[in-house]
Amino acid sequence: MPFHLRILVIGLGLIAWIEVALPAKSFEGKNDGTPGIEAPSTLGSPGGVAPTVRAGDLLFAAVSINGSPSGWWLVDTGATMCEVDLETANRLHLKRSTRYRLVTRQKNRSEHFIFMETSDLLVGTIQCGPLVMLAHPLVPALRLSKSPANWSRPFDKVGLLGMNLLVTKRALIAWRKQQIYLNPHDHQVKSKAGYEAEGYTTVPLNITPSRQVQVDGTLGGNHYQFCLDTGTPRTTIEQSVVDQGGLRSRLTSSVVRSPMNEFPDSKISQVIGTQFRIGDFDLSSRKILAASLHLTKSDRGDIWAGLIGADILWDYDAVIDFGANVLYLRR
């Protein structure tokens, strides 16, 4: 099962925090083998709207555990389950979960990972517990992301809102409105026809067994699969895909670096003339980046052709509907 790696893009004034899926950890459930999935009984819990805050190109939501003061959690569809900083989890006296275990693999890092659980977790004012989370030293990586502009109060980034919560709560994320609807009511969800009448194009999403968000698309006339990752500020294509497709690219002085030293530095290229589409939404005139990220999506060695990042979600007024598993985009 893929795990997540934080990488830093540096150069030419470009500093961005990118979330990349790599095969570093596997999780197993004690019962059905499904990793980190919240109990189905929570599906009927009351819903509501949780506001988010824009920091750079990323969205953060206020999350409180066991009545503690809220910390800021990144809304991250690239995280297969929710994650919390280990020091924060220990300070809140969260108990270890016995429902899941880590499966040791050769590629596992020496970093300390623990499954924790809580019965009480609020996203904004919406009750989202009980919830199993992965705890590990997360703050050093989160510090690399920007804080909100003109923000005078503390902005402590301590966690990731991942797919086990977003899928179970049928999250509807209205990107430019900076709102997340959890267990939305019928009147809060438009139909496909309703969105299309407002100028949106419907892009189907596929939630993989490992809880990653897959979207089909084309690049240079060839069909590929991409990962929709709201924790990535910039859409980035795998360099090997660019090279194999014979696409023109121009090397920049920007560099992808890993604060956790997971892989060697990689130069960033700007891709030209991409014939880029995701679903039926045409992005052929858009400038995109490429780097050698080795975006492995399974233990079989399959790779993503790239990450669809938050820049596209801002620019095309995105709505992500995990109740219907669709992405809506419009110009």
Record the tokens describing residue 220, joined without a space: 């240079």
- 313 in helix, strand or coil? helix
Residues in a beta bridge with 134: 83, 115
Q: What angle do CA 89, 52, 212 make, to 5 degrees?
A: 70
Q: What is the torsion angle, in degrees rounded to the nearest 10, for the CA atoms of residue 278, residue 309, residue 2 and residue 247?
A: 60
Residues with Cβ within 8 Å of 244's Cβ and at least 6 positions away in sequence, in order, are none
Phi first, then psi: give them for residue 141, nearest 5 degrees: -75, -40
Q: Calculate mean pLDDT across residues 314-320.
A: 97
Domain extent listing, the chain:
3-186, 193-329
CATH assignment, 3-186: 2.40.70.10
pTM of the model: 0.84
Give residue 166's pLDDT. 97
- Rounded to whole angstroms, the Cα distance separating 20 from 317 reads 23
- 66 in helix, strand or coil? coil
pLDDT digits (tens, 9 = 90+) for 130-179: 999 999 998 988 888 899 999 989 999 999 999 999 999 999 999 999 99
Q: Do 182 and 168 touch, CB atoms closer than 8 A?
A: no
Record the tokens describing residue 175, joined without a space: 């990107």
Identical topology for domains 3-186 and 193-329: yes
DSSP secondary structure letter of residue 168: H
Q: What is the torsion angle, in degrees rounded to the nearest 10, for the CA atoms of residue 144, residue 112, residue 99 and residue 160?
A: 0
Higher confidence at residue 107 or residue 120?
Answer: 120
Q: Do 84 and 133 touch, CB atoms closer than 8 A?
A: yes
pLDDT digits (tens, 9 = 90+) for 171-206: 999 999 999 999 998 888 999 999 999 999 999 999
- Rounded to whole angstroms, the Cα distance separating 73 from 52 reads 9
Q: Do 295 and 307 touch, CB atoms closer than 8 A?
A: yes
Record the tokens describing residue 106, joined without a space: 């050769």
- Within 13 Å and on the Cβ side, how many CA atoms surround 75? 33
**Nearest by Cα to 233 from 57, 4, 61:** 57
Give residue 187's pLDDT. 86
pLDDT digits (tens, 9 = 90+) for 252-311: 988 876 554 555 678 899 998 788 999 999 998 888 899 987 777 766 667 789 999 999
270 sits in which H/E element: strand 266-272
- Rounded to whole angstroms, the Cα distance separating 59 from 2 reads 22
Could you check whether the bond before residue 35 is cis, i.e. omega within 30 degrees of 0? no
286 sits in which H/E element: none
CATH assignment, 193-329: 2.40.70.10
pLDDT digits (tens, 9 = 90+) for 147-158: 999 998 999 999
Q: Does 7 have pLDDT greater than 90?
A: no
Give residue 43's pLDDT. 34
- Rounded to whole angstroms, the Cα distance separating 77 from 82 reads 10
